[in-house]
C-alpha cells in the first residue's frame, strides 16, 4: 500500500505555485507515496481536506515563512494534533530556519527541517516508514525533541539542484495556480536556484546558504518547462530565485534554448543584482529582450552609498542609475526596491525625524529620476523589518528592538508593516503614499482589464488615468499627506478582485 503524505502551504495570502512543497517531493517516488499537496488556492476547504487525508497518513508537513503565515500553520497543526495525536508533524521553510527553538518548543510541532529540504524530507519519510528511529541523529538538517529537550542535527550541506529529479507534475492542478499579472494573464511561478552568494545585512539568506548558490542548468529548466507546457497553457513566468542573473552564461543558454523551443512567453519580476547586470554584454541584453524578459527586479535598498556600505550591499547607487539606462535602452522594465528605516547609526546619533526626512528625500529623488528616465520603471518602498537570523539582527536588538516572545506572537509579526521605533506613524503615512504613487505610476493595466466587459472598462479607464495624473502631481510636488486617492485605489482593487474569480489571484508588484 502507498504511504500517504499530507503537505500544507500555510501562506493564505499567497496564490502562486507551492514551490517549496513541490521541491520536497522530488526524491519521493509517487508510485510508493500518495502525496497530497493542500493549499487554500486549490482547496478553499483546506482544513476539511487536511483532516480527511490525515486520517490514514504517514505524516503531516507544513511549509511556513515567518510572519502572518505562522497563524494558519499553528491553527492547522493544532487541529491535526487534536484529531490524530500520534501523527508526526514536521514544519519546514523559513520559519523553521530562522526561529527553530521557538517553533519546535510548541506541542503541535514534532520535527523541523532546517535548510534545503529535498534530502532531509526523503530520509525523514524513510525513517518513519520503516519506524527506524535509531538513525534519527544521522539525518542532517532535521531537528526533533527527545525527553523534552530540543535536538538539532548537523546542518545539511547545500546540494547541487541538478542531482535531484524534477517533481511529479501531477501533484497539483496547475490551472488553479495561474496568476493574472501586468505582463500576462496565465502566469506561473518557478524556481531555478537555491541560495545566494551575497551578504546583505538585513537578509536571512547569508546565514542560511553561507553565500553558496546552486542553480539548475539551462537545459534542465527548459526541459521542465516543456513538460509543464504539455500540462497547462501559460503565457508568462515569474522566476522567484533570489538572484536569477548570477551566471551570465546560464542566462544566455536559457534564453537561447527557450527561443529554440518556440516559447513565446513573458518573464516578469525576475530578481537580480545591479553590480552583476551592469556588466552584462550588449548581446546578452538584446537576447533578454528577445526571449521575453519584461521586468527585472533589483534590491537597490537605499539611495545613499553610505547606507549601502553599512548593509554590505556590495553595489552602489550609481550602478542603479546605469542599470536603469540599460533597461530603458533594451526595453525592459526595471523595478527597484528600497527599504526605509534601515538601522544606520545616524538614526541613533541624530534627530531621527531629520534623518528620516533626509532618507525620504533621497528616495523620492531616485523615484523622480527613474520616472523621468523611463515612465515604465517602478520604485517599490518597504519598511525595514528586523528579521531574526539576519546579520543585522543582533545589532537591532542592542538598539532596543523587542522581538515577539512566542510562536503565537511571531504570527502577529506582519513583515509588511513596520515594528521599529525610529520611524513615526506620521512618517509611515508618507512612505505608504509613496508606495501607492510608485505603483500607480508604473502599473500597466492592459492585462488586468482586458477580460472585463467593455462597459466596465469604460468606467475603469478614466478613473485610472485620473489617479495616474494625481500621482504624477504628488511625486512632482512632494505631496505625500492626505492620501485619499490611495484609499480609493486600494478599495477599488479589492472590489475588482471580488467581482471576478480570475482577479482573486491578481498579482501586481506591490
Ligand atoms: C517567492 C517568495 C515570496 C512570495 C511567496 C511567499 C511564499 N509564501 O512562498 C511572496 C511574493 C508572496 C513573498 C512575500 C514576502 N516575502 Co518572500 N520570498 C520568496 C522567495 C524569493 C522564494 C520562496 C520560494 O518559493 N523558494 C523556493 C523553495 C523551493 O525554496 P524554500 O522555500 O526555501 O524551500 C526549501 C526549504 O526551505 C525546505 N522547505 C520548505 N518548506 C518545507 C516544508 C517541509 C515539510 C519540509 C520538510 C521542508 C521544507 O525545502 C525546500 C526545498 O529545499 C524567498 C527567498 C528564497 N530564496 O526562498 C523570499 C522570502 C521567503 N520572503 C521573505 C520576505 C521577508 C517576504 C515579505 C515579508 C517581503 C515584504 N517585505 O513584503 C513578504 C511577506 C511574506 C509574509 N510573511 O506574509 C523572506 C522570509 C524571511 C523569513 N524568515 O521568513 C525570504 C526568505 C526572503 C529573504 N531572503 O529575506 N515572498
Ligand atoms: S538581499 Fe538578495 S542579494 Fe542580498 S543576501 Fe539577500 S538574497 Fe542575496
The tens digit of pLDDT for each residue in 109-119 reads 999 999 999 99
Question: Stretch 458-487: mean pLDDT, rounded?
Answer: 90
Tell me the DSSP string of 463-490.
HHHHHHHHHHHHHHTT--S--HHHHHHH
Phi, psi of 324 (to 5 degrees): -65, -35
Band (pLDDT 50/70/90 cuts) for residue 3 is very high
Top pLDDT among 490 and 189 is at: 189
SS3 of residue 270 by DSSP: strand
The bound ligand whose nearest atom lies closest to the alpha carbon of 94 is 1
Band (pLDDT 50/70/90 cuts) for residue 505 is very low
How much distance in Å is there from the Cα of 171 to the middle of ligand 2?
A: 30
Residue closest to 384 by CA, chosen among 352, 408, 406, 409: 352
Q: From the CB of residue 103, how many other CB atoms can be counted at a distance below 10 Å?
A: 24
Beta strands in 78-229 (DSSP E): 89-92, 111-113, 142-146, 149-152, 179-181, 184-190, 193-195, 213-215
Whether the CB of 200 sits within 6 Å of ligand 2:
yes
- Please report the sign of the dihedral spanned by the C-alpha atoms of residue 43, residue 49, residue 54, residue 57: negative
Q: Indicate the top mutation candidate among 97, 199, 200 to test ligand 2's pocket, ranked by most ligand atoms within 8 A of CB.
A: 200
CA-to-CA distance for 330 and 332, rounded, in angstroms?
A: 6
Top pLDDT among 460 and 75 is at: 75
Phi, psi of 24 (to 5 degrees): -75, -5
Consecutive H or E run containing 456: helix 454-476
How much distance in Å is there from the Cα of 201 to the middle of ligand 2?
A: 9
* Alpha-carbon radius of gyration of the chain: 23
**What was the pLDDT predicted at 156?**
96
Does residue 302 come out as left (phi exceeding 0), alpha (psi in the -120 to 50 range) or beta?
beta
Burial 479-500 (b: 16+ CB within 10 A, else e): ebeebebbeebeeeeeebeeee
The domain segmentation of the chain, as residue ranges, is 3-152, 178-384+420-503
**What was the pLDDT predicted at 507?**
52
The bound ligand whose nearest atom lies closest to the alpha carbon of 92 is 1
Pick the CATH number of 3-152 from 3.20.20.100, 3.50.50.60, 3.30.230.10, 3.40.50.2300: 3.40.50.2300
Residue 230: Cβ-neighbour burial (10 angstroms; 0-12, 13-18, 19+) = exposed
Band (pLDDT 50/70/90 cuts) for residue 448 is low
CA-to-CA distance for 17 and 174, rounded, in angstroms?
A: 8
All residues at 6 or more sequence positions from 86 whose CB lies less than 8 Å from its CB, including other chains: none
Q: What is the DSSP letter of 176?
A: G
How much distance in Å is there from the Cα of 470 to the middle of ligand 1?
A: 35
**What was the pLDDT predicted at 417?**
79
**What was the pLDDT predicted at 251?**
98
How much distance in Å is there from the Cα of 240 to the middle of ligand 1?
A: 9
Residue 253 has pLDDT above 60, yes or no: yes
SS3 of residue 29 by DSSP: coil
**What was the pLDDT predicted at 142?**
98
**What was the pLDDT predicted at 180?**
83
Q: Whose CA is nearest to atom 71 of ligand 1?
A: 416
For the whole prediction, is pTM greater than 0.85?
A: yes
Band (pLDDT 50/70/90 cuts) for residue 501 is low
CA-to-CA dists, residue 509 to 180, 238, 296, 464, 485, angstroms: 11, 11, 11, 17, 19
391-418 confidence digits (pLDDT tens): 999 999 998 899 999 999 999 998 877 7
Tell me the percentage of the chain whose pLDDT exceeds 70: 96
Cell numbers standing for residue 217 = 542548468
Residue 441 has pLDDT above 90, yes or no: no
How much distance in Å is there from the Cα of 242 to the middle of ligand 1?
A: 10
Q: What is the mean pLDDT of the chain?
A: 93
- SS3 readout for 73-123: HHHHHHHHHHHCCCCCEEEECHHHHHCHHHHHCCCCCCEEECCCCHHHHHH
Residue 504 has pLDDT above 50, yes or no: no
Q: Which of 193-197, 373-377, 450-454 has the highest mean pLDDT?
A: 193-197
Question: Cell 529623488 appears where?
Answer: 365
**What was the pLDDT predicted at 510?**
38
Q: What is the DSSP letter of 351?
A: -
Residue closest to 36 by CA, chosen among 144, 232, 202, 171: 171
Question: Stretch 63-86: mean pLDDT, rounded?
Answer: 97
Q: Whose CA is nearest to atom 4 of ligand 2?
A: 200
| Entry field: residues in the chain | 510
Top pLDDT among 450 and 56 is at: 56
Question: Stretch 8-16: mean pLDDT, rounded?
Answer: 93
Whether the CB of 196 sits within 6 Å of ligand 2:
yes
Residue 509 has pLDDT above 70, yes or no: no
Q: Whose CA is nearest to atom 31 of ligand 1?
A: 20
Cell numbers standing for residue 476 = 512632482
Q: From the CB of residue 70, how many other CB atoms can be counted at a distance below 10 Å?
A: 27
Cell numbers standing for residue 446 = 492592459
Question: Stretch 171-177: mean pLDDT, rounded?
Answer: 97
Tell me the percentage of the chain whose pLDDT exceeds 90: 81
Residue closest to 452 by CA, chosen among 506, 488, 489: 506
295-326 confidence digits (pLDDT tens): 999 999 999 999 999 999 999 999 999 999 99
Question: Stretch 259-269: mean pLDDT, rounded?
Answer: 96
The number of the ligand 2 atom at minimal distance from the alpha carbon of 313 is: 4
Cell numbers standing for residue 26 = 522530488
How much distance in Å is there from the Cα of 94 to the middle of ligand 1?
A: 6
How much distance in Å is there from the Cα of 345 to the middle of ligand 2?
A: 21
| Range name among 86-90, 123-127, 422-426 with the lowest pLDDT average | 422-426
Cell numbers standing for residue 148 = 523534552
The number of the ligand 1 atom at minimal distance from the alpha carbon of 14 is: 12
Residue closest to 476 by CA, chosen among 368, 360, 369: 368
Whether the CB of 27 sits within 6 Å of ligand 1:
no
CA–centroid distance for 465 within its chain: 30
**What was the pLDDT predicted at 508?**
47
Question: Cell 501533484 appears where?
Answer: 171
Superfamily classification of domain 178-384+420-503 = tm_1862 like domain (3.80.30.20)
Whether the CB of 203 sits within 6 Å of ligand 1:
yes
**What was the pLDDT predicted at 447?**
64
Residue closest to 355 by CA, chosen among 418, 427, 416: 427
Amino acid at each position: 500500500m502507498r504511504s500517504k503524505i499530507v503537505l500544507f502551504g500555510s501562506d493564505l495570502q499567497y496564490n502562486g505555485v507551492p514551490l517549496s512543497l513541490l521541491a520536497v517531493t522530488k526524491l519521493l517516488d509517487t508510485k510508493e507515496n500518495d502525496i497530497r499537496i493542500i493549499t487554500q488556492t486549490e482547496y478553499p476547504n483546506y482544513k476539511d481536506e487536511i483532516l480527511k487525508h490525515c486520517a490514514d497518513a504517514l505524516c503531516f508537513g507544513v511549509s511556513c515563512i515567518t510572519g502572518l503565515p505562522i497563524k494558519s500553520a499553528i491553527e492547522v497543526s493544532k487541529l491535526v494534533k487534536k484529531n490524530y495525536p500520534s501523527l508526526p508533524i514536521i514544519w519546514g521553510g523559513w520559519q523553521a530556519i530562522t526561529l527553530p527553538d521557538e517553533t519546535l518548543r510548541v506541542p503541535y510541532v514534532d520535527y523541523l527541517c532546517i535548510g534545503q529540504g529535498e534530502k532531509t524530507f526523503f530520509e525523514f519519510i524513510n525513517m518513519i516508514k520503516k519506524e527506524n528511529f535509531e538513525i534519527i541523529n544521522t539525518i542532517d538538517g532535521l531537528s526533533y525533541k527527545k525527553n523534552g529537550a530540543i535536538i538539532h542535527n548537523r546542518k545539511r550541506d547545500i546540494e547541487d539542484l541538478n542531482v535531484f529529479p524534477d517533481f511529479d507534475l501531477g501533484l497539483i492542478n496547475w490551472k488553479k495556480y495561474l496568476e493574472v499579472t501586468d505582463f500576462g494573464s496565465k502566469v506561473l511561478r518557478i524556481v531555478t536556484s537555491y541560495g545566494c552568494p551575497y551578504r546583505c545585512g538585513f537578509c536571512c539568506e547569508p546565514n542560511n546558504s553561507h553565500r553558496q548558490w546552486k542553480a539548475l542548468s539551462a537545459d534542465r529548466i527548459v526541459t521542465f518547462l516543456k513538460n509543464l507546457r504539455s500540462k497547462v497553457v501559460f503565457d508568462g513566468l515569474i522566476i522567484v530565485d533570489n538572484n536569477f542573473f548570477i551566471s551570465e552564461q546560464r542566462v544566455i543558454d536559457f534564453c537561447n534554448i527557450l527561443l529554440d523551443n518556440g516559447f513565446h512567453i513573458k518573464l516578469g519580476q525576475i530578481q537580480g543584482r545591479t553590480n552583476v547586470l551592469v556588466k552584462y554584454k550588449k548581446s546578452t541584453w538584446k537576447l533578454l529582450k528577445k526571449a521575453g524578459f519584461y521586468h527585472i527586479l533589483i534590491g537597490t535598498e537605499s539611495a545613499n552609498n553610505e547606507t549601502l556600505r553599512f548593509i554590505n550591499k556590495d553595489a552602489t547607487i550609481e550602478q542603479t542609475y546605469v542599470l536603469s539606462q540599460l533597461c530603458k535602452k533594451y526595453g525592459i522594465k526595471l523595478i527597484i526596491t528600497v527599504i526605509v528605516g534601515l538601522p544606520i547609526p545616524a538614526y541613533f546619533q541624530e534627530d531621527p525625524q531629520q534623518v528620516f526626512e533626509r532618507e525620504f528625500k533621497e528616495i523620492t529623488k531616485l523615484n523622480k529620476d527613474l520616472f523621468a528616465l523611463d515612465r515604465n520603471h517602478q520604485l517599490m518602498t518597504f519598511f525595514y523589518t528586523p528579521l531574526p537570523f539576519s546579520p543585522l539582527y543582533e545589532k537591532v536588538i542592542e538598539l532596543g528592538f523587542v522581538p515577539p516572545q512566542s510562536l503565537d506572537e511571531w504570527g502577529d509579526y506582519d513583515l509588511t508593516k513596520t515594528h521599529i521605533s525610529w520611524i513615526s506613524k506620521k512618517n509611515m503615512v508618507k512612505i505608504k503614499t509613496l508606495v501607492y504613487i510608485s505603483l500607480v505610476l508604473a502599473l500597466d493595466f492592459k492585462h488586468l482589464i482586458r477580460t472585463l466587459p467593455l462597459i466596465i472598462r469604460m468606467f475603469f479607464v478614466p478613473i485610472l488615468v485620473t489617479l495616474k495624473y494625481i500621482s504624477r502631481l504628488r511625486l512632482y510636488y512632494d505631496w505625500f499627506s492626505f492620501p485619499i486617492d490611495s484609499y480609493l485605489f486600494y478599495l477599488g482593487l479589492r472590489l475588482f478582485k471580488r467581482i471576478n474569480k480570475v482577479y482573486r489571484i491578481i498579482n501586481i508588484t506591490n
